[in-house]
Amino acid sequence: MGSKEKRDKRLQEISLLRTIPYSDHQRWWSSETVAVVTGANRGIGFEIVRQLAGHGLTVILTSRETSAGLEASKVLQESGLSVAFHQLDVLESSSIKEFAEWVKQNYGGIDILVNNAGVNYNLGSDNSVEHAKMVIDTNYYGTKNVTKAMIPLIRPSAAGSRIVNLSSRLGRLNGKRNRIEDEALRQQLSDTETISEEIIDKMVSTFLGQVEDGTWTSGGWPQTQTDYSISKLAVNAYTRVLAKVLSDRPEGQKIYVNCYCPGKVKTAMTAWAGNISAEGGADTGVWLALLPDQAITGKFFAERREINF
């Protein structure tokens, strides 16, 4: 079967999956299935927790602020959902380590990780190095560092365990908006055979260096929401790198990794300017986390449809 035929078949499978309600899926999870959702005290993260717990999973809600996280988890617990809380600051290595140790001690491991924690800052005339660094550190390095800490705790599963990364169309390499003009870099990030964590780290390091010396506007970077776009481009690229590594594992130990764009969701992060509800923004993330064993990995989705990186 040629590459075009394989792609057409995959798209047909995905299209079919979009029409299947969860109740008709091959239910591979149970109340013993443990999911972790980062940055989940409000907005999309809170909705992902609510929906996953509503499907009968045990969900660990994390939040940087303890009081906000406790209040959010209490609301869900009072609805009869199996939700626990633990503080987690994705910017702090000590917090990540403590969280991983707590998970291991209390649950033994997890089955699903949803990296939702993130920030949204625009890079413009009032840009500061501190803001740009925080966006990159939270959205990219935070996602990466939490993932690396959780992978050893992800339990073997016949259906395949899951990692879902919240991303954005603004991080698309081939999008019409916010295009990177450096063709050499575009080629490096497009080549699924040679793309690596080192290439991604070098890209964000180069960007931050140019922000610091004031040359980023002429560096070929996207000119709209630049820091956010670069951070999500890095998340998308890391998703592909990680998917390749984890799909090489033996059967029963595979971890499927995908990312998705929730759209412009009406939350505090978008200053309530979005046109999609938090419930709608969470939908594709939950769908990816609960898909039956279809070996879909290293892909980018929006509205339950695969889109191009």
Residue 8's pLDDT is what? 54
pLDDT at res. 295: 74
So what's the pLDDT on residue 78? 98
Cα separation, 162 vs 198, whole angstroms: 24
Q: Which residues are catalytic?
A: 228
For residue 69, is pLDDT > 90? yes
Q: Is 90 helix (H, G, I), strand (E, B) or coil?
A: coil
pLDDT band for position 213 (50/70/90)?
A: very high
pLDDT at 97: 98
Q: Cα 168–42–62 angle (5° rounding)?
A: 90
pLDDT tens per residue across span 220-275:
998 788 999 999 999 999 999 999 999 888 888 899 999 999 998 865 554 445 66
pLDDT of residue 12: 54
- DSSP per residue over 221-283, as a string? --SSSHHHHHHHHHHHHHHHHHHHHHHTSPTTS-EEEEEEE--SB-SGGGTT--SB-HHHHHH
CB-based contacts of 24, cutoff 8 Å, min separation 6: none
| Cα(249)–Cα(254) distance, integer angstroms | 5
pLDDT score, position 267 = 59
- Percent of the residues in the chain that have a pLDDT greater than 90, as a whole number: 68
Instruction: Provide the mean pLDDT of the chain.
Output: 88
What is the distance between the alpha carbons of residues 173 and 150, in angstroms, rounded to a whole number?
A: 27
Predicted local confidence at residue 268, as pLDDT: 55
Confidence band of 276 (pLDDT split at 50, 70, 90): confident
The pTM of this model reads: 0.89
Query: What pLDDT band is residue 122 in, cutting at 50, 70 and 90?
Result: low
Higher pLDDT, 239 or 128: 239
Lateral strand order in the sheet of 112-115: 83-87, 58-63, 34-37, 112-115, 161-166, 255-261, 300-302, 305-307
Backbone angles phi, psi at 268, to 5 degrees: -60, -30
pLDDT at 192 over 80: yes
User: Which pLDDT band holds residue 129 (cuts at 50, 70, 90)?
Assistant: confident
Tens-place pLDDT, residues 7-25: 555 545 445 555 545 554 5
Check: CB of residue 95 under 8 Å from CB of residue 102: no
Residue among 156, 45, 148, 164 at smallest CA distance from 108: 156
State the pLDDT at residue 3.
59
2-6, 99-103, 193-197, 279-283: least confident range? 2-6
Reported as a pLDDT band with limits 50, 70 and 90, residue 125 is very low
> For 23-34, how does the pLDDT look when each residue is reduced to its tens digit (9 = 90+)?
545 789 999 999
121 confidence band (pLDDT: 50, 70, 90) = low
Q: Above 90 in pLDDT, residue 76?
A: yes
